[in-house]
A = this chain, B = another copy of it.
Amino acid sequence: MQTSMKITRKENYEPKELNLHETLFCSANGYIGIRGTLEEGVPEHFPTMRGQYLAGAYEIIPMKQAESLCNLVEKKQTMLNICDTQTIRLTVNGQEIDPFSCKVTDAERVLDMGEGYTERLTHYSLSSGGQLAVRIRRMAHFAIKELFTIEYEIEAIDFTGEAVFDSWHTPEVANYSDPDDPRLADESPCYLTRQELAYKGSMSYSVTKTKESGVVIAAATEHIIAADDKAESMIREEGGSLITRIRIPLRKGRKVTLLKYAAFSDSIREKEPRQKVTGLLSRVTVISIKQLYDEQKAYLSKFWERSRMSIDGDKELEDAVCFNMYQLLCAAPRDPHSGMAAKGLSGEGYEGHFFWDTEMYVVPFFILTDPALAKNILAYRYSTLPAARENAALVGHKKGALYPWRTITGVECSGYFPSGTAAYHINGAISYAVISYHQATGDDEFLLTMGLEMLIETARLWLDTGVYDRKGRFNIFEVTGPDEYTCMVNNNYYTNASAAYNLRCAADLYEKYRDRTEVIKLTKDLGITDLEIDAMKKAADAMYLPYDEDYGINPQDDAFLDKPVWDLASTPKEDFPLLLHYHPLHLYRYQVCKQADTVLAHFLFPDLASRETMEKSFRYYEKITTHDSSLSTCVFSMTASMLGLHDEALSYFGDSAKLDLLNRHENTKDGVHTANMGGCYMAIVNGFAGLRIRKDGLHISPFLPKGLRSYSFPFSYMGRKLKLSVDEDKAVMELTEGEGCAFKFFDKEEMIGKEKPWTHGL
């Protein structure tokens, strides 16, 4: 691992940029997420999403349907903005220190991905003429997931005087809202009601509770001063907040440091959240901060060892890819009490909901770098299987489970069912992830205690949904594929292909493991019959996969190709993304795709179509896809790689790795695009390197994209650790841990052993 893995940005305190930096310099550890808002706050008119989140902590709010049809969802869950412990106001010699009223001579932000902290370095020139240096380091601790620290260091470079810190603890805060953007909540009262707000010694603590979900959040803060002189400290309550005021003398050229520890807990995970946070802070504050930093670094050191990607020839790309991996690590749940949100824990976009994105775009990354985290995500889905069964029943299914399109606890939260509940491919994504995880890890225990049940129940849903037509083909009607620019279509190629895979794998794995105790019990519990397993196999075999003779492509759905092609060339730039500028009924009438749909199916299920059909389809869909979704270009890149279209693979890859760093979609302020981050990883690993783990084992078919000198990455496969390096001339595979194994290099059987790296010319 390189020692310096930093993202550094100048800070100009420009409102929009600040809002973006709140996301980019968020501190998160898979449990807590604290946006990189300024301790001192921003002027009132500045857009800011001042947020602190806990994975899976939610409130239930009404979501009235404009027309109440039967069994439509009329409530939704929303991620909570919890207790604000970030706020620290500083006064030096009577002058309030903030970049909006003071002169800033230099300011930058740093994210250190090797050390696991963010930092703000600000240099002020005070009205008295004095120079003040401020360094604020924040850390969401990876090993102690409830812990967040702020190290607030100031240095009076050329003067003496007094600093006064007001450090806040505000339990009741409101969520963010933007009524003009359907991807954000449109109203935001404060969902938390204070149960307790108190202090004991210098430790403050609060307990809040939501009204509907009954989730209890506890928070505690503690302060430690490191300075030459003794500080005075007192706590007061003001307007529902506890404020710790610390007065401390400033000496010229000397540093003074305020360490603020905050701990958070919730009733989803803990019986006594308050005891959890106060106990934790009591223990943690006696450890030196250095020790906490060292632990953080050690945690990351292992993470990078398992995942660090080297890209020689494009340092910016390498940094961006590492940034993405780091963000995924920050976003991934550390226990099965929560799934992973579309924006991770970095913002309130999509209200903290979990979508198919996680399974389809992020789980593949964790499968190859940290299978335990992948397992958490899948275990969370397993825990919501009962809710998925209820969801299926609501839609009228007699059997099976239908995972919700968007959710926090497993209950459907999509308000517009034609592009929500109707997106049955969520079942496809989850089952695909279960199968992939098992194929890459061989984790039979997971398969037998969780995975198989999920596969059987999702497969049952397809059986209950589909129907044989007069030609004996198995049809799936009225579903919505990944491309939401048409909804409730018949025989969406992607959905049908996913369903076939789900059905076949459920049946095959069931038959393979049917004699295992767990499966015998499952058979009894779920009433699985041979007839049913046969029906799964039959449906998989008979699955209708639309093919158009004229064009030689797979149409996205039965009616897709008959519709007129949207005139993208004449569509004004400001009309994108189309969904924000056109009535859905209008969108639905055209051949226009928001994102990869059939092209994704071809990447996932290449055996279902000929190479020619896939290439023709690729060429066809690339002309009509807007990539309005951040989930799209990476898939086009992967499929291009698979088809050997190397220029296209590189061109679609483009700077998608930098989507958030460069704010390409202009909405990174609402949170990072985790799916795109995972997708970029896939575009390199599954795309450029052609790494696939299938039923028959590991495959690679690497190439070196133009402009790069080499790239390499470590990965896990069936318990072993491998590393693949690709340069202009050759591919090299090393086995760094575990036993040797066979793999396929462009369909050629190869072996890798511990003795020496495997090398092959390109």
Contact = CB atoms under 8 A, between A and B. Distances in A.
Contacts of A76: 66
Interface stretch (A202-210, A577-585, A699-707, A727-735): A577-585
Nearest to A76: B66
Interface in A584-636: 584-586, 588-589
Given A467-B564, A470-B562, A583-B394, A478 B417 contact: no
A388 B505 CA distance: 52
A582 B393 CA distance: 10
B584 A417 contact: yes
Interface in A299-340: none
A69 B559 contact: no
A599 to B, nearest CB: 22
Interface string A465-488: 101011000010110000000011
B65 A589 contact: no
A418 B488 CA distance: 10
B70 A589 contact: no
Interface in A388-425: 394-397, 414-418, 420-422
Contacts of A395: 583, 585-586
A458 interface: no
A760 interface: no
Contacts of A420: 67
A416 B65 contact: yes
Given A475-B562, A558-B558, A421 B186 contact: no
Given A69-B416, A564-B467, A581-B70, A490 B559 contact: yes
Nearest to A397: B586
Find the residue from A74, A395, A418, A469 having the highest chain B CB count within 10 A.
A418
Chain A interface category by residue count: 35 or more
A70 B579 contact: yes
A68 interface: yes
A72 interface: yes
A71 interface: yes
A182 interface: yes
Interface in A417-463: 417-418, 420-422
Contact of A488 (B465, B488, B564, B583): B488
Given A67-B420, A416-B67, A589-B465, A563 B396 contact: no
B396 A585 contact: yes
Contact of A584 (B70, B470, B558, B586): B70
A684 interface: no
Contacts of A414: 67
A397 B581 CA distance: 13
Contacts of A465: 589
Contacts of A416: 65-67, 69
A64 interface: yes
Contacts of A397: 586
A73 interface: yes
A395 B581 CA distance: 10
A63 interface: yes
Contact of A585 (B64, B421, B586): B421
Contact of A65 (B66, B70, B396, B467): B66
A550 interface: yes
Given A580-B70, A585-B396, A589-B477, A418 B415 contact: no
B69 A563 contact: no
A406 to B, nearest CB: 10
A240 B414 CA distance: 44
Given A550-B470, A562-B469, A562-B475, A488 B588 contact: yes
Interface in A24-74: 63-74
Contacts of A64: 64, 66
Given A477-B589, A583-B71, A585-B478, A66 B559 contact: no
A279 to B, nearest CB: 42
A70 B594 CA distance: 15
A395 B580 CA distance: 13
Given A417-B585, A488-B488, A583-B395, A562 B477 contact: yes
Contacts of A582: 70-71, 396
B69 A182 contact: yes
A544 B462 CA distance: 32
Contacts of A585: 395-396, 417, 421-422, 478, 488
Nearest to A564: B467
Interface string A63-100: 11111111111101000000000000000000000000
B70 A490 contact: no
Contacts of A469: 562
A559 to B, nearest CB: 5
A431 B603 CA distance: 49
B66 A182 contact: no
Nearest to A565: B467
A132 to B, nearest CB: 46
A415 B70 CA distance: 14
A579 B394 CA distance: 13
A437 B420 CA distance: 44
B477 A67 contact: no
Contacts of A490: 559, 562
Nearest to A581: B70
Given A67-B414, A417-B583, 9 more contacts: A66-B416, A67-B416, A70-B583, A72-B584, A418-B418, A477-B559, A477-B589, A478-B589, A558-B558
Interface of A: 63-74, 76, 182, 186, 394-397, 414-418, 420-422, 465, 467, 469-470, 475, 477-478, 487-488, 490, 550, 558-559, 562-564, 579-586, 588-589
10 contacts: A66-B416, A67-B182, A69-B182, A70-B581, A71-B583, A465-B589, A467-B564, A477-B563, A478-B585, A488-B585
Nearest 9 interchain pairs by C-beta = A66-B415, A396-B586, A67-B415, A67-B416, A71-B583, A68-B182, A467-B564, A478-B588, A395-B583
